[in-house]
Amino acid sequence: MIKNDLFLRALKGETVSRPPVWMMRQAGRYLPDFMKLKEKYDFFTRCRTPELATEITVMPIHQVGTDAAILFSDILVVPQAMNIEVEMKPGLGPWLPHPIRDKKGVDAAVVPNVYEELGYVYDAIKLTKEALNDEVPLIGFAGSPWTIFCYCVQGQGSKNFDKAKAFCFSEPELAHQLLQKITDTTIAYLKGKVEAGVDAVQVFDSWGGMLSPEDYQTFSWQYMQQIIDALRPDIPVIAFGKGCWFALEHMSKSGAAALGVDWTCSPEVARKLTNNSITLQGNFDPSRLLSPIPEIEKMALEMLNRFGKDKYIANLGHGILPNIPVDHAKAFVNAIKNYES
């Protein structure tokens, strides 16, 4: 039995004494101990070495005190497993030297045996579960098919993913073939995470907000829905679409256990769009963790009060930034943990 099960109870919509709190990208770049490991090991070495991934995953539980752990990994291990080369370039981020722009590229992408290609992730989950010793739940994650597709076609990060969108609109049949391959791989990958022992999964649609509401349904949400349908009988699924407030009403009927909300959507609007029917997670602006600590504490409580303490998981509206002082992250977490209704 997990000793602190607040997060899992909130996912079920149960009445809780206070909301649980964790932070996207909490296992990482703002922690001094993480930076020491970064100096010694390159990015994908950290992802592929179960002992390192475990150490990084557990860091914020001990140092910041969150109510859930999220496995240290990266969404781009999925295209790597699909025979798509991905590098992580310092100062640039993800770099794909051979972006997919034609039928040959789509055909070369494979739906892999996830246990062979991504076994290191499952080993990291088992090691992390041992290290956590049932203190808090462990979250596994994947990128949404659309978000992975964006990197595969664009070849790197982008402000508008114009090449990815152009491929969708000029070669829709090929685009859907690639999206389906990514979806099939992601479903198998997440099912493997469930078998390895995670307690919940989150699907990150970081670039969903790049699409119009109509195109979002066509090129992103229908694939997210496939993932939710495949996983929900076995585990709670959190769906997070950055910039996708326009789809919240539709998403609330998907069977997901919870929906992430970014900072551009107010708690009141998010509750209204979802008819208060589902657990919501978010939506503190990560940059606001640079505010003075008293202001962080005040704003965190205000956010909690606006969402309400039940059917709510306190979190950021996207990943924590690398320049956030650890004390500021702790202040955010403790403001939620010290809440008294």
pLDDT tens across 187-233, in order? Answer: 999 999 999 999 999 999 999 999 999 999 999 999 999 999 999 99
Please check whether residue 294 is in contact with residue 2, taking contact to mean a CB–CB distance below 8 angstroms.
no
307 is in an annotated binding site: no
Amino acid 340: pLDDT: 80
Is 73 annotated in a binding site? The answer is no
285 is in an annotated binding site: no
- What is the per-residue pLDDT for 11? 98
151 is in an annotated binding site: yes
Token digits for 9? 């109870």
pLDDT digits (tens, 9 = 90+) for 272-328: 999 999 999 999 999 999 999 999 999 999 999 999 999 999 999 999 999 999 999
Mean pLDDT for the chain?
97
Round to whole Å and give the CA distance between 180 and 186.
10
53 in a known ligand binding site:
no
For residue 107, pLDDT beyond 80: yes
- pLDDT of amino acid 76: 98
Report pLDDT digits (tens) over 6-24.
999 999 999 999 999 999 9
* Annotated binding-site residue? 44: yes
Query: Does residue 90 surpass a pLDDT of 90?
Result: no
pLDDT at 269: 98
Contact 143, 78 (CB under 8 A): yes
Over the stretch 233-281, which tens digit does the pLDDT of each residue have? 999 999 999 999 999 999 999 999 999 999 999 999 999 999 999 999 9
Kindly write down the DSSP assignment for every residue of 118-166, as one continuous string: SHHHHHHHHHHHHHHTTSS-EEEEEE-HHHHHHHHHHSB--SS-HHHHH
- In the numeric block, which tokens belong to residue 321? 């930034």
DSSP string, 51-95: HHHHHHHHHHHHHT--SSEE----TTHHHHHTT---EEETTTEEE
For β-strands 93-95 and 87-89, DSSP reports them as antiparallel
Q: What is the mean pLDDT of residues 67-73?
A: 98
DSSP letters, 183-216, are: HHHHHHHHHHHHHHT-SEEEEEETTGGGS-HHHH
Task: Please provide the DSSP assignment of 233-248 as one string.
Answer: TTS-EEEEETT-GGGH
220 marked as binding residue: no
Query: Distance between CA atoms of 114 and 79, rounded to whole angstroms?
Result: 11
Query: What is the band of 100 on the pLDDT scale with cuts at 50, 70, 90?
Result: very high
- Which residues contact residue 13 at a Cβ distance below 8 angstroms, ignoring those fewer than 6 apart? 278, 279, 310, 311
Q: What Rg do the C-alpha atoms of the chain give, in angstroms?
A: 19
- Percent of the chain whose pLDDT exceeds 90: 98
Task: Confirm or deny that 318 is annotated as ligand binding.
Answer: yes
Q: How far, in Å, CA of 209 to CA of 230, rounded?
A: 24
Q: Which fold has domain 6-337?
A: TIM Barrel (3.20.20)
The pairing of beta strand 312-316 with beta strand 237-241: unpaired
